[in-house]
Amino acid sequence: MNVLFLTTGSFNSIDERGIYTDLLRHFNAQGHGVFVVCPNEKRNGKPTQLILDNGANILRVKTGNITKCNLIEKGISTLKIEGQFIRAIKKYFKAVKFDLVLYSTPPITFYKAVKFIKKRDGAKSYLLLKDIFPQNAVDIGVLKKSGLKGIIYKFFRKKEKKLYAISDKIGCMSKANCDFILKHNSEVPNEKVEICPNSVDYKDLRVDNTTRLIMREKYNLPLDKKIFIYGGNLGRPQGVSFICDCLKECSDLDAFFLIVGSGTEYGVLEKFMLENSPSNAMLMKFLPKEDYDKLVSASDIGMIFLDYRFTIPNFPSRLLSYMQAGLPVLSCTDPNTDIGQVIVNGGFGASCFSNDIIKFKTTVENLLSSNLTDMGNNAVTYLKDNYLTANSYEKIMALFSGEL
């Protein structure tokens, strides 16, 4: 059968490692035709291009800028993208009959494109729900439910509900996500919602002691301390001010904190580092993926941060990169997500709330005296049991039960 994947993310090759490329490669390996529609942003200065990439058809559609631009430009480009996708599909894939259309949030603006494919081809539709917008924007103060921002909220909320309605199945990150969707969208039938979390092809990213030493020396990291690493976005969702408070509180611990990433709040952390000069912490910009993966593997504990104000149950994908590297995980989040509960129940880490600096410190101290090797092995086992692409594939293909 033919599978169409709609995304606003950067998509260069199906051979890249990631939650979507891994899943699509699995579909390809099972004999299905794989088609991807993604943006070719204005800044690239290139027209719409159709590329054959190791059996996958990648259609890069000329669009406005949706990344690394101001909110107004991003908003306008995002709203226009479904029309641009539809026109490109009509032109380049007019002879292709799609059996399945996959799409993820964010964004929530693929409703018309999904509706078009379903009506034209009679395709099944599966939403990979990675984020719950616009409520997440309300939680951290980007949107409000009243005033001018309230009008914007209601506009996007209407689109969110349409996307849920057009989807035959909604695959959520965890049980807490499923519960949230059903509680706040009473029109969505229970049987439409299921757990289908981020997944990857298993690759053991653990490194030997020699590589650990080489990576630590390369980046001037201590050889005699446990390294707690955070890698990823540094924006409002991460509660960067709490991260700064934690670093300050833990300045006397025999641990080293490494923060790697970029984002709108990077400057807040950079200013903190300049003003406080902590001896047991370092801030770094994003690294090449291969180096970053090795640096994670050369660390001892991975960290996850989420702003305490969130009412939606986020489940960050960076969890998987820590697990592939065989690292225990320290989760510092709001009380609504169940990611901390998953980590603790799986025996591969610890959790605390992201409004309790003292609890963060005691949790770090407890981890320093724990058996990190066993926890890391538990992380790898849990990954294999719960977060492999084969599991996601089977969930999605259940849509066709009795038809194939």
Name the amino acid, one letter, at 63: T
Which of helix, strand or coil describes residue 296?
Answer: helix
Q: Please give the model's pTM, rounded to 2 decimal places.
A: 0.91
Write the CB contacts of 280 (distance below 8 Å, at least 6 apart in sequence). Answer: 225, 250, 251, 253, 255, 256, 257
**Helix boundaries (H) for 167-312:** 175-184, 209-218, 240-249, 266-276, 289-297
Longest distance between any two alpha carbons in the chain, whole Å: 65
**Closest by CA position to 256, among listed 279, 220, 217, 227:** 227
* pLDDT under 50: residue ranges of the chain: 404
Q: How many angstroms separate the CA atoms of 121 and 196, rounded?
A: 25
Q: How far apart are CA 377 and CA 347, in angstroms?
A: 9
Residue 182's pLDDT is 96
Using CB atoms within 10 A of its CB, is residue 339 exposed (0-12), middle (13-18) or buried (19+)?
buried
**Across the chain, how many H-helices and E-strands are there?**
15, 14
d(CA 114, CA 319): 30
C-alpha closest to that of 327 among 364, 365, 378: 378
Alpha helices in 30-70 (DSSP H): none
DSSP calls for 57-115: EEEEEEE---SSS-HHHHHHHHHHHHHHHHHHHHHHSTTPPPSEEEEEES----HHHHH
Q: Using CA atoms, how far apart are residues 161 and 321, in angstroms rounded to an integer?
A: 32
Q: Are 227 and 299 in contact (CB under 8 A)?
A: yes
Rounded to whole angstroms, the Cα distance separating 111 from 257 reads 42
Which amino acid does the sequence have at 56? A
Distance of alpha carbon 142 from alpha carbon 252, whole angstroms: 35
Task: Give the domains, in start order, of the chain with CATH numbers.
Answer: 2-201+388-400 (3.40.50.2000), 209-386 (3.40.50.2000)
Strand partners, 52: 57
If DSSP codes are grouped into helix, strand and coil, which group holds residue 316? coil
Q: Which residues are within 8 A (CB) of 90 and not within 5 positions of it... i.e. 6 or more apart? A: none
Query: Would you say how long the chain is, in residues?
Result: 404
What pLDDT is stored for residue 366 in this prediction?
96
Q: How far is CA 191 from its chain centroid?
A: 25
Report yes or no: 47 and 62 within 8 Å, Cβ to Cβ.
Answer: yes
What's the one-letter identity of residue 375?
M
- DSSP class of residue 398 equals G
Angle subtended by helix axes 71-92 and 111-121, to nearest 10: 10
CA 64 to chain centroid: 23
DSSP code at position 388: B
End-to-end CA, the chain:
9
162-191 pLDDT, tens digit per residue, is: 999 999 999 999 999 999 999 999 999 999
pLDDT at residue 403, as a whole number: 59
CA pair distance 309, 354, nearest whole angstrom: 9
- For 310-334, write each residue's pLDDT tens digit: 999 999 989 999 999 999 999 999 9
Among candidate residues 287, 299, 291, 364, the one with its CA nearest the CA of residue 325? 299
Q: Give the span between the Cα atoms of 363 and 385, in whole angstroms.
A: 26
Task: Return the sign of the alpha-carbon dihedral for residues 23, 24, 26, 32.
Answer: positive
What are the tokens at 109?
Answer: 């603006």
